Structure formats: C-alpha cells, structure tokens
Amino acid sequence: MVDAAHESSATSATVAVLLDAALAEVLAHGIRRTTASDIARRAGVARQTLYRYWPDVQTLFAALVTRELLAVLPRVEATGLDGLVDLLVTTADGIRRMPLVDRLRDTDPELFARYVLERVGTSQRAIHADLARRIDAGQRAGFVRPGHPDRIAAMLLLTIQSAVQSAPIVAEWLPAQAWAHELALIVRGYLAVDA
C-alpha cells in the first residue's frame, strides 16, 4: 500500500515535470504550436499522464502561467514605504523580464490580451491578495495612506500590470532602469501618507 505523503510527493513531482516541459515547449514554439503530445514527449511521459492532471492543454497553460507568476511574488516582508516600493517594483521588473511573458506577448498577443483584459485569473487574484495584505500591514505600521486595502491593491495591480505589459512599446523612452525609477515614483506617490 502506498502512503498518502509518498503519493502526494510523486504527484507534485509529476506536475512539476509536466509544467517544466510545458514551459520549455512554449518558450521554444509558442502556445499555439505547443501540443499535449509535445509536452508529454518532453516530460518523458505518456500523453494520458498529462490528462490525469489537466482536462486539456489550455488548463495546463493556465496552471503554467499561474505557477510562473506566483513564483516571482516576494517571500519577505517590507519595512517602511521605501522597502515596500522597492519590493513591488523589483517584483514587477521580475515579471516584466520573464521569458514566458515575452513569449506570450510575441507569439500569442490575443491570448495575452484576453488573459489580461478580459478576465481576472488565479495569479491576478493571488497577487491582489498579496498586495492588499502588504497595504494593510503598511497602514497598521503607519507608512501607507489610509483607504480600503482591497481597493488600493486593485488600483496598484492595474497600474503595475499596465506598466509591465506596455514596457516593450515604450522602451525607446523608458529603458529598464528608467522604467523602474518612474514606476517607483508612481507607486510611492500613490501609497505615501500625505505630509
């Protein structure tokens, strides 16, 4: 009899292998040209194994995007407004530089736009919750302005998400370092307690 912990560990390992294979295929070929067979082949498993975990390849792609975006979320707490601003801008810059985000933008702009413009996905909900928690903590510590943390987090998510998505089209005017500096000014100005 297989114990539950070992089975869960094996499941987690298989899921990780499949998501890693999906990432490699998407980076090599784009989402539209990546099939379940390609992913299974790269992972060294049967295609049916993939379908044990996800009903279709689109659901797997959604899980991949969620995993990659959530992996960038900071695990540390910020101290003070400067620390929070730096944490948020560094995280946004990490997402902006993600090869997966670049590949989606380049090879499947319709999917990229739909994911960003038409629905709130799992990763966006998790990022929003993380922002709201950090804003609430900053308010309690006295370095973030008063206001409803969920609303402030939603506006920050919209602002930062837009900056990340649009960074390549304004790179002529805002190279990476300037982009980060200007985003920090926006975030600081929005969160700062009025003097």
- Of 29, 28, 9, 116, the C-alpha closest to 65 is 116
One digit per residue, the tens of pLDDT, for the chain of length 195 reads 444 444 466 678 899 999 999 999 999 998 889 999 999 999 999 999 999 999 999 899 989 988 998 898 888 888 899 999 999 999 999 999 999 988 888 887 777 777 666 678 888 899 999 999 999 999 999 999 999 999 999 999 999 999 998 999 999 999 999 999 999 999 999 999 985
Distance CA 36, CA 105 (A): 21
Question: Cβ neighbours of residue 62 under 8 Å, at least 6 residues apart?
Answer: 121, 122
CA atoms within 13 A on the CB side of 115: 22
- Is 174 within the bounds of a domain? yes
- Is 65 within the bounds of a domain? no
CB 149, CB 136: distance < 8 Å: yes
Distance CA 174, CA 195 (A): 29
36 and 114 assigned to the same domain: no
Distance CA 28, CA 148 (A): 43
Which range marks the domain in which residue 80 is found? 73-191
CATH number at residue 25: 1.10.10.60
pLDDT at 10: 60
179 and 123 assigned to the same domain: yes
Please provide the size of the chain in residues.
Answer: 195
- Whole-angstrom CA distances from 28 to 7, 31, 52, 91 are 31, 9, 24, 25
- Of 96, 81, 91, the C-alpha closest to 162 is 96
102 and 187 assigned to the same domain: yes
- Of 191, 163, 162, the C-alpha closest to 176 is 163
| Tally of structural domains, the chain | 2
108 and 130 assigned to the same domain: yes
pLDDT at 6: 42
- Of 9, 93, 100, 10, the C-alpha closest to 63 is 100
49 and 104 assigned to the same domain: no
CB 144, CB 84: distance < 8 Å: yes
101 and 179 assigned to the same domain: yes
Question: Cβ neighbours of residue 161 under 8 Å, at least 6 residues apart?
Answer: 116, 124
176 and 102 assigned to the same domain: yes
Radius of gyration of the chain (CA): 19
pLDDT at 19: 96
162 and 85 assigned to the same domain: yes
Distance CA 32, CA 26 (A): 8
